[in-house]
């Protein structure tokens, strides 16, 4: 293994001596799992798996081109799985076939070290790939709950349970009824509407006030800087349940004041209360992100702008703002999420008319567990994937337009 890896890519070496053992080891691993699962025994599984891995590797890399080869591997092991373990076997077979096929080509064509410099040692290559694998596992950990809730949201039953029907992929186990429930039930649509109203307003308030204050704080001579910073960050520090009860008194009196003095309707003053409460909770995140961006900000730029006759407002919007925009945006993201996912404070400060999505989920989980919650979550995930992808595509487009090469 060491010698083959060291040779690099200058000459095309015969890697068969490397490919076969690696793929066989890989196959042995799958075989072990399959042997355990089917009850055939670990040893038998390892032997069969290793043999299958070696055969596949040999067949694929010597006889078949990449695409056909991978499809063949998937089909072959998939069918094998189907014969042994039925529907589940098919899935497991297809997955392990895909993995084995990929492994064979990945090792054989030397792509496993494609991103490494040619002089990298075998140990470095091994570590590099292990590292990538670890990162993959962590990223999987991050999205594992999401991967779980998506199939569960199609559950035909009213529980968070993978029923036997679902596991055997029986269509009777699946249904769209929770989605139907979400789209037809006012108990869910109203909270959705409320969340969509409250979160952006709260974000706007915390971002605008927070950015101004962060700019102020970044000036060189600010008296009581530490104390001010501590106060501004305090909403993040105080345990939420204490904040919620404490804020209740203030907002309750403020609500009365607004209703009596301005003749506001209860529902309007209710929205204002929740928006302000959420804005206060989001501010620490904006302060932290924007101050961090401003640390590296070159103040001679604003002086240069002023020197050339720009008013402070123009300087702010045309010079400073574009430069600190990334910090502002990520602060805004945190502030938005804080409001969009906040349940404790809104439980206290809000009234029925301001019920937000997390609140509805909270009562849902407490009073009757229903996968409608999962359907909502799935929809939100899909929407956010679309949003984030769009943002990324737009970024690439503007990059292209500006003539920057992707780095």
The answer to the question of residue 407 lying near another protein (CB under 8 A) is yes
Phi, psi of 97 (to 5 degrees): -60, -45
- Given a contact cutoff of 8 angstroms between Cβ atoms, the answer to whether 312 and 306 are in contact is yes
The answer to the question of residue 386 lying near another protein (CB under 8 A) is no
- Given a contact cutoff of 8 angstroms between Cβ atoms, the answer to whether 200 and 270 are in contact is no
Reduced to 3 states (helix: H, G, I; strand: E, B; else coil), residue 155 is: strand
Site for another protein in 251-270 (CB under 8 A): 251-258, 261-262, 264-269
Report the nearest approach of another protein to the CB of residue 60 (Å).
Answer: 26
Report the nearest approach of another protein to the CB of residue 348 (Å).
Answer: 6
Closest-CA residue to 236 (of 348, 330, 342) = 342
The answer to the question of residue 152 lying near another protein (CB under 8 A) is yes
Nearer to another protein, 169 or 388 (CB): 388
Nearer to another protein, 112 or 348 (CB): 348
Number of other CB atoms surrounding residue 190 within 10 Å = 17
Number of other CB atoms surrounding residue 247 within 10 Å = 21
**Which positions from 72 to 111 touch another protein by CB under 8 A, shown as an x/- string?**
----------------------------------------
The answer to the question of residue 288 lying near another protein (CB under 8 A) is yes
The answer to the question of residue 401 lying near another protein (CB under 8 A) is no
- Given a contact cutoff of 8 angstroms between Cβ atoms, the answer to whether 275 and 202 are in contact is yes
> 174: which strand partners?
155
> 155: which strand partners?
174
The answer to the question of residue 26 lying near another protein (CB under 8 A) is no
For 373, residues 6+ apart whose C-beta sits below 8 A from its C-beta are 361, 364, 365
- Cα(141)–Cα(249) distance, integer angstroms: 41
The answer to the question of residue 168 lying near another protein (CB under 8 A) is no
Report the nearest approach of another protein to the CB of residue 261 (Å).
Answer: 7
Nearer to another protein, 75 or 192 (CB): 192
Site for another protein in 339-378 (CB under 8 A): 341, 343-344, 347-348, 351-353, 355, 357-358, 361-369, 373-374, 376-377
Candidates 11, 114, 295, 308: give the one binding another protein (CB under 8 A). 295
- Cα(20)–Cα(10) distance, integer angstroms: 22
The answer to the question of residue 326 lying near another protein (CB under 8 A) is yes
Nearer to another protein, 23 or 289 (CB): 289
Site for another protein in 195-254 (CB under 8 A): 197, 201, 209-210, 212-213, 215-217, 219-223, 226, 228-243, 245-254
In the numeric block, the tokens 């890399």 are attached to 61
Nearer to another protein, 73 or 199 (CB): 199
- Given a contact cutoff of 8 angstroms between Cβ atoms, the answer to whether 345 and 359 are in contact is no
- Given a contact cutoff of 8 angstroms between Cβ atoms, the answer to whether 193 and 199 are in contact is no
The answer to the question of residue 138 lying near another protein (CB under 8 A) is yes
């Amino acid at each position: 293994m060491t010698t083959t890896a060291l040779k690099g890519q200058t000459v095309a070496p015969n890697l068969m001596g490397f490919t076969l053992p690696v793929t066989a080891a890989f196959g042995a691993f799958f075989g072990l799992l399959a042997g355990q699962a089917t009850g055939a025994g670990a040893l038998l599984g390892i032997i069969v798996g290793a043999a299958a891995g070696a055969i596949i590797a040999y067949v694929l890399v010597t006889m078949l081109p990449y695409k056909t080869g991978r499809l063949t591997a998937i089909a072959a092991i998939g069918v094998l799985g189907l014969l042994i373990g039925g529907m589940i076997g098919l899935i497991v077979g297809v997955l392990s076939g895909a993995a084995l096929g990929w492994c064979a080509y990945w090792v054989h064509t030397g792509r496993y070290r494609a991103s490494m410099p040619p002089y990298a040692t075998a140990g470095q290559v091994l570590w590099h790939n292990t590292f990538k694998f670890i990162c993959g596992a962590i990223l999987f950990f991050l999205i594992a709950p999401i991967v779980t809730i998506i199939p569960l949201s199609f559950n035909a039953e009213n529980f968070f349970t993978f029923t036997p029907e679902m596991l055997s992929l029986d269509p009777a186990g699946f249904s769209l009824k929770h989605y139907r429930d979400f789209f037809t039930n006012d108990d869910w649509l109203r909270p959705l509407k409320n969340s969509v109203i409250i979160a952006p307003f709260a974000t706007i308030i915390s971002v605008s006030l927070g950015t101004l204050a962060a700019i102020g704080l970044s000036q060189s001579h600010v008296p009581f800087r530490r104390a001010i910073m501590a106060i501004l960050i305090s909403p993040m520090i105080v345990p939420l349940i204490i904040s919620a009860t404490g804020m209740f008194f203030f907002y309750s009196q403020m609500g009365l004041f607004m209703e009596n003095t301005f003749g506001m309707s209860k529902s309007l003053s209710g929205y204002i209360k929740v928006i302000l409460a959420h804005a206060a909770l989001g501010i620490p995140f904006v302060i932290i992100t924007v101050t961090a961006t401003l640390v590296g900000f070159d103040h001679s730029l604003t002086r240069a702008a002023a020197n050339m006759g720009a008013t402070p407002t123009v300087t702010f919007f045309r010079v400073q703002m574009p430069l600190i925009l990334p910090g502002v945006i990520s602060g805004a993201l945190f502030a938005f999420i804080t409001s969009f996912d906040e349940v404790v404070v809104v439980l206290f400060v809000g009234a029925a008319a301001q019920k937000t999505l997390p609140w509805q989920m909270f009562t849902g989980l407490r009073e009757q567990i229903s996968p409608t919650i999962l359907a909502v979550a799935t929809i939100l995930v899909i929407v956010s994937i679309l949003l984030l992808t769009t943002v990324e595509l737009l970024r690439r487009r503007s990059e292209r337009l500006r003539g920057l090469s992707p780095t």
